[in-house]
Amino acid sequence: MLVYLLRHAIAEETAATDSVRDLTAEGLAQARSITEKFKPYAPAMDTVLCSPYNRAQQTASAVMTLFPDIALTLDESIKPGGDVYGVLDAIEEFGGQHLLIVGHNPFLSNLLSVIVDGTMESHRYVDNATLHCVSMDVVAPGCGEIVYTLEP
Say what the pTM is.
Answer: 0.96
Cα distances (angstroms) measured from residue 30 to each of 27, 36, 49, 92, 140? 5, 10, 19, 30, 31
Per domain, the residue ranges of the chain are: 2-150
State in words which class domain 2-150 has: alpha beta
State the average pLDDT over residues 100-129: 97
DSSP secondary structure string for all residues of 42-56: -----EEEE-SSHHH
Helix (H, G, I), strand (E, B) or coil at 5: strand
pLDDT, tens only, 66-97: 998 888 999 999 999 999 999 999 999 988 89
pLDDT of 139 above 80 = yes
Taking each continuous run of H as one helix and of E as one strand, the counts in the chain are 4, 6
- pLDDT tier, 124 (very low <50, low <70, confident <90, very high otherwise): very high
What is the model's pLDDT at position 71?
85
